[in-house]
Structure 1
Amino acid sequence: MISLAALVLAVAAATTPASGAPGEVPQRLVVGVTHTPPFVVQEGPERWSGQAIDLWRNLADELDLDYKLEPRDITSLLRGLEDGSLDAAVAAITVTAEREQRFDFTHPFYTTGLAIAVAHRPPETWFDGFISVFTFSFLRLLLTFAALQLLIGALMWLIERGKNPQFPGPPGPGVLAGLWWAVVTMATVGYGDKVPITVPGRLLAMLWMLASLIILTSATAAITSQLTLGQLEARVRGPEDLGKLRVGTVLRSTSETYLRDMKLDYRGFSDLTLGLAAIESGELDAIVFDRPLLVDAIALAHKDTLELLPRSFQRQDYALALPTGSPLREPINQILARDLATLQDP
């Protein structure tokens, strides 16, 4: 016969949940964190600060939670929520549909968007416009025109010499006269002080007039296109201009997902600092990433060399991440719903 004491122990064991069972909050939470200033800032081996850290500490105090912070990179941070090695994750974690299938999110505590960081460009002056016109390509074009006009002028002198007093016989004055005629004809000025009188000379004149129209039109279009392209490259206004730039972003981020979905070529970096350094060195034209993280990184180490475009795009909602079915979600959401107005500056 089973004793009364044994029966009591059996009932107690059957009615008392085991530590760590589903639906039960562990006695000591393991909270994953990753360095994402200004939300999570690692100041030392076990010293953490930042907006998200302050939020978590306030939540833990109100819910009387015991916890330890465990640093991880973003990949192992999210993986830890799936495999159960983490009870929560605190960082600038964007809520996405794909992530929602893998683990749970609390209510968002911060709403922002993606932004574009580019090299700082000082205001243009009149001298910048002057330099943009007188480039090596422009000077090479002028030399090509001069050589072509000299060739046509010399050919006209060879045809007209001895028959037309407007083109003297000696090579020096004769070629100069032919060059003068070729230049004013190409410029469509046509002073009429020098006119070919022979049939071959007039045929050459007609061909040169027609060729001059084509040459000048093509040259003008090429110069205008080059100047316009330079202005467009210097004036990146938003995501619609990313297709003509050398773009970078942080690997395994929502900004990488955005660039991939938009079918844009990009270069991935393991760390935001590496991407910003690539802009400074001229390897990249722009970095696409979360606006608050770019703002903090530029202000910290790149304020004189990089700048952030004013437009934001592709909304990003930051939330605390929890394992699927975590009993912490509802009490945390109640507190966040109560304090939502004070979590983010207007």
Structure 2
Amino acid sequence: MIRLILFFYLLSFCGNSYAQMKRDSVIQVGFTGSQPFVIPNTEADGISVDLWRDIAFQGGLNYELTHFKNVTSGLDAVKNQTIDVLVGPITINSDRAANVTFSQPFFETEMAILAPKIEQGFWDYVKPIFSTTFLFGVLGLIFALSIVGVLLWVVERNTLSPEGKHSTIRGIGNGIWLAIVTMTTVGYGDLAPKTLSGRVIVGVWMIISLITATSFVAGIATTISQIKGEDETITSLLHLEGRKVVVPDNEKIIDNITTVGGRPEPVADINEGFEMLSSGEVDALVYDVIALEYTYRGHDEDRFVLSKKNILPQNYGFAFYEASSLKRLVDIEILKQKESGEIQKVINRWVSSGE
């Protein structure tokens, strides 16, 4: 019995000693991703790096930072056990989870659309009046009024007006006038049908007007309301049809843009994409919403419109080779900082200071 107790004591001591050795050893930490989550310079910086520093401080961890050009190379280093953990805005998905282990998500994000604000000119305000729908509606109404006017002149040429007896054009004009005041229910009383046929025609026209006038006027009103002009600024995925769009080099995002008829242009990082958008090479930029907010702040913000439409929501986490005591420590610290709101404070600080 004493031997058994001594064995368990020795096992516990060895386990604690191993854990202490791991804590005293230098953890190899890779960092990668777009700003503001990772900003590579002489001293690594960014949201993800700040979060890792807080975790390391709370856990008493010693570490060395190594920058990787992209997420793919960083995940390969994790898989090959060149590094212990990869930090950054690393999207958690099934393909990556087959090769590495992810921490608790530290941020839930989405794609957003950044596009130039399109100012409308005079023609944009008046072109609805010249639309096919509007013109056909007006022409249809004129045609109907002309038919009624001619019919009234035919049956009322001797009584509609004295001029109607000798002037065809004047008589038809009076007939159209009667049709108009009848349709609009104005009823000036200057003209009125005297014959039975004329009253039948006017009566039928009254009924037709009641049935059709409301729909026609509603259509006219809708078209006129468009005189303000449609907002041609790209604000949703549906607006991307036929447009050239900068996107991350991500198969899922590329497929989504292609599905709505857009022409995706993959880029390595958001800075390259923003330069293409600013120079007019592309029509819109689809990227992580935080990265977009950080990048375009301080760059003539009035030129652009940022649209958040809950596009492709996804989670960011840190990557490990396998589940370990280090991953467990990171998971607990991430949950603590999410619960306390510290992560959101770090994000807000970086976004509000973006230049």
What TM-score, normalized to structure 2? 0.61
1:196-345 → structure 2 map (5 Å cutoff): 196-223=193-220, 245-246=239-240, 250=247, 256=253, 265=260, 267=262, 268-271=264-267, 274=273, 289-301=287-299, 303-308=301-306, 317-325=315-323, 328-330=326-328, 332-333=330-331, 341=340, 342-345=342-345
Partner of 1:31: 30
* Structure with higher helix content: 2
Paired residues for 1:73-88 under 5 Å: 74-78=71-75, 81-82=78-79, 87-88=84-85
The root-mean-square deviation of aligned C-alpha atoms, in Å, is 5.2
Q: 5 Å matches for 1:89-238?
A: 89-96=86-93, 99-108=96-105, 110-114=106-110, 116-117=112-113, 131=125, 135-137=129-131, 140=135, 141-165=137-161, 168=164, 169-223=166-220
Decide whether the 8 Å contact of 2:128 with 2:134 is kept in 1: yes
Unaligned runs of 5+ in 1: 1-22, 123-127
Percent identity of the aligned residues? 23
Residue 50 of structure 1 deviates from its aligned partner by: 1.7
The answer as to whether partners of 2:25 and 2:62 remain within 8 angstroms in 1 is no
Cα deviation 1:219-256 (Å, max 9, x = unaligned): 2343455678999x86x9xxxx9686548784566984
Give the partner amino acid of 1:323.
Y
SS at 1:296's partner residue? helix
**Cα distance in 2 for residues equivalent to 1:279 and 1:214:** 53
Deviation at 1:184, TM superposition (A): 0.7
- Quote how far apart the aligned CAs of 1:80 are: 5.1
The alignment covers a number of residue pairs equal to 307
Which residue of structure 2 lines up, in the alignment, with residue 70 of structure 1?
A: 68
- State the secondary structure of the residue aligned to 1:41: coil
Cα drift, residue 142 of structure 1: 3.7
Change in CA separation of 1:185 and 1:275 when aligned onto 2, cut-off 3 Å: farther
> Aligned-pair distance for 1:85?
6.2
Comparing 307-316 with 74-83, which one deviates more in the overlay? 307-316
C-alpha spacing 1:182/1:244, structure 2 compared with 1 (3 Å)? farther
Q: Which amino acid aligns with 1:181?
A: L
Moved more, 84-93 or 327-336: 327-336
Residue aligning to 2:49: 53
Alpha carbons of 1:211 and 1:282: their partners in 2 closer, same or farther (altered >3 Å)? farther
2 CA distance for matches of 1:208 and 1:214?
10
What TM-score does the superposition give when structure 1 sets the normalisation length? Answer: 0.62
- How much does 1:148 deviate? 3.7
Q: 1:8: which partner in 2?
A: none
- Distance change in 2, residues 1:266/1:97 (3 Å): farther
3-state SS of 1:319 partner: strand
Shift of 1:321: 1.5
Q: Name the amino acid aligned to 1:33.
A: T
* 184-193 or 303-312: bigger deviation: 303-312
Give the 3 Å change call, closer, same or farther, for CA 282–154 of structure 1 in structure 2: farther
Alpha-carbon distance between aligned partners in 1 of 2:173 and 2:277, rounded to the nearest angstrom: 54
